[in-house]
Chain A
Amino acid sequence: MCRLPAAIGFLLLLTMPSANAVAQEPTAFLSAHCVECHNAELHEGGLNLKALKIELSDAENFANWVKVHDRIASGEMPPKAEPRPPVAAVNEATAWLKSSLIAAELATRQAEPRTGLRRLTRTEYENTIRDLFDMPGIALRNDLPADGSAHGFDNNSDALDISHVNLAKYIAAAEHTLNLAIATQPRPPASKVQRISLASQYIIRVVLHGGDCVLLKNKQPDPDFPPPGEQAHLGLGPHGQMDSYSNECSVGVFRHEDESFNPYFQEFATIYPGRYRVRASFWSFGWDKGKVVPARGTEAARLSAVQLTNDGRGGGHPSYVLGYFDAPPNKEQVHEFVTWLNAKETLGFNAGSLAPVVNYSRKGRAMAFTGPGIASDWLDVEGPLHEVWPPRSHQILFGDLPLAEFKPDESKGVKAPVRKQPRQEILGALNKVDPQTGACWTVQTEQPLADADRLLQAFLPKAFRRPVADEVRQTYVARVANRLEAGDCFETAMRWAYQAALCSPDFLYHVEPVDRLDDHALACRMSYFFWNSMPDDRLSELAASNTLHQPEPLKAEVERMLRDPKAQRFVDDFLDQWLKLRLIAANDPDRKLYPEFSGYLQDSMVAETRAYFRELLEKNLDASFLVKSDFAMLNEKLAVHYGLPDVVGSQIRRVSLPPGSPRGGFLAQAAILKITANGTTTSPVPRGAFVMDRLLGSPPEPPPANVAAVEPDVRGATTIREQLAKHRDNTVCASCHAKMDPPGFALEAFDVIGGWRDRYRSIGDGDPAPRGQIDPFIFIGFKLGPRVDPAGTLPDGRSFSSITDFQNLIATDSRLLKNLAERLSIYSTGRPVAFGDRDQVAAIVTKTQSQGGGIRTLIHELVQSELFNAR
């Protein structure tokens, strides 16, 4: 038996809370059960307890002792093969370690608040500006430097550093915001309705000539523009001169978006950022060598907002999806929605549900093609829409001060505000700038400093999300006074103050009291938790009346906030990070192995996971639903992908699953399965690690630096299980893989894109693959290789033979709810769950379970907890 190191003995010297005075130092326990392996010679698990000093104020040392505690407390250590220590001895040892660690943590914590000072993430910044100025689509996020990540989230103070680059970007963002917010004309820009045909765009005309699109009139081929066959249409110019493209035809599209084909409705490009109403008419059709025939079913057309760069020429401009819209069989459906469009944005179209078919290079072109198409009749853009003028964004800055023409003759010595005249910068866009009078309009005041004080008194508390002291406000008023003295007009002087406010720490940082949150800080914590943004008026009023912290108002506010559409921001941002949804496009699946993958499928995957979590929240379902469910949130694309019948259309909806179906829970959602694969192959290791870390809250240790990774064999010669078996022969690897591999083995039932598989796909050896649910217009080049074996044994000895077996086993695992509680705590407070917080988390979990274990209940309990209310 090895002697205990002096360090262990030193533990005795640590101050222990009186409540734990009964616990004894674990010298004898460690000596009897641990040091025999964890010494300098054997160094099991990379741990030498003899050399491990007791310096709990050191973060790394503290973390090592936490691991020692956790391994003993969970029963993982001593190993099963060794004699089991008496339960009392285990309890005594862990109690002693626990109290020592908490004492050390409390000592460290006295020096600084739990949640460090943290700035807004760029997502929070953008949302805050959007809500503050009622400009719900202003794009700022992508112009700000990317945030780091700590403890799994980007809103953690450890990840939110700041540099001169950030500051320069904040100044630019504030200027851009004020440029959009301030009205510069006495009347709003004229709202117009512009009807656009897809055929107005150059690239569509090109493909019309080659047969990847056709013109349709009265739902039949346009006799004046016959579909290309053996001959393509000649020159675009002469057809334009003959008005061939604008004779009120629909455009039937066969071709999916690709590198050289990006259809836009580019006759419109935003000049005046704001809200626009979009209406569009789509239908699907079948095409048989020059004839329109009944469609195979409902197709999905995608509309996106496209940020045109430079003068808008070419394709591949940055874009984001506005939505997928049903194109019903042979009968048009008109879709309508209101969206915010930024300057130089247009609308993009994609035949989202169609296979990537091209006709232009095939003999016979459209006249030889048989297959599905999506018809776009027209698209209307109406706007900009203004309910009031000046807009709310202007009123927030200048209240009810009137707009008047700035006349230099009457304003001697005063500089006019700088104006950038709007203009249409996009080639081919037909919407033009409103007639310009040349007059310069700006806000007028007879008592500038009094008005400045009044306006700032209203603005600053909103922007800073709490009451603002008079002396702070006066510094901004003084800034206005300085600029007025320097000859700036009132608007310009106020812009200086507003820009300074938007770049100040009061705006950029979450300012919280040192100890317990006051009601304003609580309102902010709640609003940034559920809305990723500032509190609204109701929340601020409750904070001002000092009633928000009371249990009932607090509960009512949580309910109100979760019901608000802005709560979708929480769902999106939380899942993006917790389940790594941000990485959904990190790789493109191999086209030979997974030819059925498409952008529409990927977007549907993400929509499923978000909708599913939203459903868990709304229905207050328990944590077992994280891994096992009797329903799924699907659209037609996903339902076909999962082999489930009778789901029609592009919209995600709740679908009951047949008995025995593994779908529904996160484990079997295509998004999670894609994120945990590399695009070509799957490996039980990263998938198992994902389950252990993200769902069970027991992240495996990182792999030793000198052990090579296991590379799956896509030639189909060996299975990943066979390779891992060899890997596990290495005793260094075995202990971690025993925990990590089983979940990964169970998930082997799903391929790289979340499809079900009994056999691995192969591009080498194998049998011919049946088409299954794959679109008949997609070429299949892969083969079927070795059979999948999804069986495994959990570390506790329980075995499973399938994914559904595995789901049943872990659905009752208490770690699911505990882990979710921890993740929500980290996300909402901006700090990690400390060792000393564990009891509070446990209490939250216990209270939740006593009320049925629902996830909504969990959120209520978290918000009511001391953990949430303390900084």
Chain B
Amino acid sequence: MKTIRPNVPRYGSPVTSLLLLCLCTIASPACAEDSPTPGQFKHQITGLFMPEREQDLRDAFKKLPQFKLVSIDYANAEVVLDYEPAKVWPGEKPEKYVGRLNDDLRNVSRASFGVKSLRTKPLDKLKLVEIPVVGLDCKGCSFAAYEMVFKLPGVERATASFKSGKVTALVDPELTDSSKLEEALKMGGVEIGGQPKP
């Protein structure tokens, strides 16, 4: 299995993008390959904010027959895909593959799923934050809460579910903390508090 790391974050500034690109180029041997060989690739998935979304992800990949979904790791928001980049995007530069995959997945999922480069920061350097929330048991509302948190700098992974009554986030403590997340949620109309359900 290979990892393809080069990626230009969709909403990143040009400078940030360039830095990330350089970092990924150094860190990943795979991206040094001019023409990746057919095989399996692991990617981080955005939009996988509650367990029910696994089925949505499978449905989305059914609309992309050029990719075979091998496995979903919900806890880490990662998937393993089997595909041949050179066949899927003939003539495309390898460093553009993740971006192209991201576009394809967004197109078939109303932009609710996306692909980004794998996490680079070790897990022990990240902190899990859990925020109790109150709201309607509604996938759209949960997604809204997820987006409020996930788009913040320093958030590597997030989940949101009003059914379970909590928003979780794996954050880089150097960049953000629980209070910033709560502030973002309140700004978005989310009521903080209540008792999380098991």
Contacts and interface: CB of A to CB of B under 8 A. Distances in A.
Interface of A: 224-226, 228-235, 237-244
Interface stretch (B1-9, B74-82, B187-195): B187-195
Given A238-B144, A238-B147, A233 B112 contact: no
B112 A242 contact: yes
A239 B140 contact: yes
Nearest to B189: A234
B190 A234 contact: yes
Contacts of B138: 224-226, 233, 239, 244
B118 interface: no
A242 B134 contact: no
B163 to A, nearest CB: 11
A234 B110 contact: no
Contacts of A235: 140, 144, 147, 188-189
Interface in B147-198: 147, 188-191
Given A231-B134, A234-B135, A234-B145, A244 B191 contact: no
A241 B110 contact: yes
11 contacts: A225-B138, A226-B138, A233-B141, A234-B144, A238-B140, A240-B110, A240-B140, A241-B111, A242-B112, A242-B139, A242-B140
A244 B136 contact: no
A244 B140 contact: yes
Nearest to B110: A241
Interface of B is mostly: loop
Interface residues of B, number: 20
Interface of A is mostly: loop
B97 interface: no
A242 B143 contact: yes
The CB with the most chain B CB atoms within 10 A, among A225, A234, A242, is that of A234
B180 to A, nearest CB: 19
Nearest to A243: B110
B134 A233 contact: no
A240 B111 CA distance: 10
Nearest to A237: B144
B139 A224 contact: yes
Contact of B136 (A233, A238, A241, A242): A233
A231 B135 contact: yes
Contacts of B111: 241
Contacts, number: 61
Contacts of B190: 234
B112 A226 contact: no
A232 B110 contact: no
Given A234-B190, A242-B110, A242-B143, 15 more contacts: A225-B138, A226-B136, A226-B137, A228-B136, A230-B134, A234-B140, A234-B144, A235-B140, A235-B144, A235-B188, A235-B189, A238-B140, A240-B140, A241-B111, A242-B139
A232 B140 contact: no
Nearest to B112: A241
Given A242-B112, A243-B110, A231 B136 contact: yes
Contacts of A242: 110, 112, 139-140, 143
Nearest to A226: B136
A231 B191 CA distance: 8
Contacts of B144: 234-235, 237-239
Interface string B78-111: 0000000000000000000000000000000111
A172 to B, nearest CB: 44
A224 B135 CA distance: 13
B136 A229 contact: yes
Contacts of A241: 109-112, 140, 143
Contacts of A237: 144
Contacts of B135: 231, 234
Contacts of A233: 136, 138, 140-141
Nearest to A225: B138
A239 B110 CA distance: 10
Of all A-B residue pairs in the complex, the 5 with the closest CB atoms, nearest first, are A239-B140, A234-B144, A238-B144, A235-B144, A238-B143
A286 to B, nearest CB: 22
Nearest to A232: B189
A225 B189 CA distance: 17
Contacts of B191: 231
Contacts of A244: 138-140
Contacts of B143: 238-239, 241-242
Interface in B109-131: 109-112
B183 to A, nearest CB: 16
A239 B143 CA distance: 8
B147 to A, nearest CB: 6
A124 to B, nearest CB: 52
A389 to B, nearest CB: 38
A225 B140 contact: yes
Nearest to A244: B140
Nearest to B109: A241
A362 to B, nearest CB: 16
Contacts of A225: 138, 140
A359 to B, nearest CB: 15
A177 B48 CA distance: 56
The CB with the most chain A CB atoms within 10 A, among B109, B135, B145, B191, is that of B135
B188 to A, nearest CB: 6
A249 to B, nearest CB: 13
A206 to B, nearest CB: 13
Nearest to B113: A241
Contacts of B136: 226, 228-229, 231, 233
A240 to B, nearest CB: 7
A241 B136 CA distance: 17
B182 to A, nearest CB: 15
A477 B109 CA distance: 62
A203 B11 CA distance: 29
Nearest to B191: A231
B107 to A, nearest CB: 12
Nearest to B185: A234
B162 to A, nearest CB: 8
A330 B52 CA distance: 33
A232 B141 CA distance: 9
Nearest to A234: B144
The CB with the most chain A CB atoms within 10 A, among B109, B110, B134, is that of B110
Nearest to A245: B140
A238 B150 CA distance: 13
Nearest to A222: B138
A123 to B, nearest CB: 49
A321 to B, nearest CB: 34
Nearest to A231: B135
A848 B18 CA distance: 96
A563 B164 CA distance: 68
B122 to A, nearest CB: 31
A260 B3 CA distance: 52
A629 B136 CA distance: 57
Contacts of A229: 136
A222 to B, nearest CB: 10
A233 B144 CA distance: 9
Contacts of A240: 110, 140
Contacts of B139: 224, 242, 244
A234 B141 contact: yes
Nearest to A228: B136
A34 B16 CA distance: 104
